[in-house]
Chain A
């Protein structure tokens, strides 16, 4: 299947999902589904760098929160700005930060990049905490319009629709990469960087492309967050849960294809929501961490990989 038919198929699935949601018209369902779709985007974004090139980004919260806080800034400056534009801006900001971090650290061994991204999360949080314009440590309030623009109905439906759209774009991008020269270059880097260079692969440039794409999608996924939570403070915007989920979901689902993050996000996200409702929200955050460790130890190919192996 080419990229265009694939994207159209995804659009159909997304439209069907949205139609079912509209028909049910339960706000809770939209709120819960938004989170799962957001994690599909985050997991896919992480996987473009982590799964395809093998470079582990721990700074998910930095990129995600950069997107979220870009929206806060824009909201304060131009409250009437449409949210899709805020998402694009958030993506650009996060992508540029990815470019800078990558440019400084991607020449070194992969672990240094990983460590730098961990530290990046702390420093971006420090900067935001000290920036009074966006509320500093106290946090910022964003007024969520009651009615969704264009489509009518509850505003959460609009947020969900935008996240679905972003998800379609992210998955189409990820799959297009897999089947393109870029994807082969990424795989060569993941397998053996020296041999990739010797085969003509411009490894630094490709790693930077992956970092920018990955960081950009994370930023775009974070941009609607202020409208989703309506009150955003650094400790919730930089919650480690985002990072753990975004890493755990692709690794649980399988990192070798676009399907892995989807499977991981739906299963883990769904399970977490179930546990949050039935047991407690404290246990629910533990789930992703435990599953992450169990899967990387026992089933490093993830669920998709397990099925592929059985089929062979």
Chain B
């Protein structure tokens, strides 16, 4: 079967700095992949290149068998990719419910397969906010939220786009144990509905619990890719994380 996401030979430079080098990564439909690596190892750059926020310099990205090259970010979102931003970027003058309305109007409805209308949109926004535990703040502005709530909003907004593939970029940083379990359960539910999930996370407990497969980026290269239990024992990974 063709993988849902096929990345081959992906490279990205910023001036003289190589952020990503010859990344190969295939993700099967329905898979739960964990992507880890130290700060600055290129995880977010990789997400940015796949989602079209940045243009990659070398290699190719295919999604659902079709190349993504040249597609703008919004076209990729419509095609079924969605991401949360590592540093939350809510729409500041819109209420929480309205924040979720944007991807419903512009990603879900733009796919033209029976979009949602008025009351259905409101109901969907309410449901999504309830899923991340923000139901009672639907009409508040993002500036009333804590940093942690903003991360939940980020995740909800990505989910609102009804993606085939979801990037959860450090949505759990700063959350309590109980909250982490809630989010993991939520991501499991999404995955159960057929959504492929790539979790980028520093909290190893969450990554290990969630991922079927683990890929490790260090200094812009993929140094390991395999079963989580094997990968964390990998000598190179241990060296990268713990130092020599």
Q: Give complex CA distance A195, B51 in Å.
A: 11
B-side interface residues, number (CB < 8 Å): 31
Q: Which one of B2-10, B103-111, B202-210, B232-240 contacts A? A: B103-111
* B89 contacts across to A, CB distance below 8 A: 192, 194-195
Contact A200 B107, CB 8 Å, known A184-B101, A185-B102, A194-B53: yes
Whether A199 contacts B93 by the Cβ 8 Å rule is no
Q: Give complex CA distance A191, B77 in Å.
A: 19
Nearest chain A CB to B47 CB, angstrom units: 10
Nearest chain A CB to B160 CB, angstrom units: 8
Q: Does B73 contact A (CB under 8 A)?
A: yes
Contact A187 B106, CB 8 Å, known A198-B77, A199-B77, A202-B74: no
* B72 contacts across to A, CB distance below 8 A: 197, 202, 204
Nearest chain A CB to B10 CB, angstrom units: 19
Whether A188 contacts B102 by the Cβ 8 Å rule is yes
* A184 contacts across to B, CB distance below 8 A: 94, 98, 101-102, 105
Nearest chain A CB to B75 CB, angstrom units: 8
Q: Does B157 contact A (CB under 8 A)?
A: yes
Whether B91 contacts A187 by the Cβ 8 Å rule is yes
Contact A188 B91, CB 8 Å, known A181-B106, A199-B106, A200-B106: yes
Q: Give complex CA distance A170, B109 in Å.
A: 27
Contact A200 B91, CB 8 Å, known A181-B105, A194-B53: no
**Residue on B with the closest CB to A200?**
B107
Q: Give complex CA distance A256, B72 in Å.
A: 28
Contact A202 B93, CB 8 Å, known A184-B98, A197-B52, A197-B74: no
Q: Does A291 contact B (CB under 8 A)?
A: no
* B73 contacts across to A, CB distance below 8 A: 194, 197-198
Per-position 1/0 for A106-147, Cβ under 8 A of B: 000000000000000000000000000000000000000000
Give chain B interface residues in 66-88, CB to chain A under 8 Å.
72-75, 77-78, 82-83, 85
Q: Does A203 contact B (CB under 8 A)?
A: yes
Per DSSP, are chain A's interface residues mostly helix, strand or loop, or mixed? helix
Q: Does B161 contact A (CB under 8 A)?
A: yes
Q: Does B90 contact A (CB under 8 A)?
A: yes
Partner of B91, one of A191, A197, A256: A191
Whether A199 contacts B161 by the Cβ 8 Å rule is yes
Q: Does B92 contact A (CB under 8 A)?
A: yes
Q: Give complex CA distance A192, B73 in Å.
A: 14
Whether A199 contacts B92 by the Cβ 8 Å rule is no
* B90 contacts across to A, CB distance below 8 A: 191-192, 195
* B160 contacts across to A, CB distance below 8 A: 199
Contact A203 B74, CB 8 Å, known A185-B102, A197-B53, A198-B53: yes
Contact A196 B93, CB 8 Å, known A202-B74, A203-B74: no
Nearest chain B CB to A163 CB, angstrom units: 31
Q: Give complex CA distance A256, B74 in Å.
A: 25
Nearest chain B CB to A296 CB, angstrom units: 16
Partner of A200, one of B53, B77, B92, B93: B77
A-B contact list, 19 entries, CB within 8 Å: A184-B94, A184-B102, A184-B105, A187-B91, A194-B73, A195-B85, A196-B74, A196-B102, A197-B77, A198-B77, A198-B82, A199-B103, A199-B107, A199-B160, A200-B74, A200-B77, A200-B103, A201-B106, A202-B72
**9 closest residue pairs by CB, A with B:** A200-B107, A200-B106, A197-B73, A191-B91, A199-B103, A195-B89, A200-B77, A181-B105, A199-B102
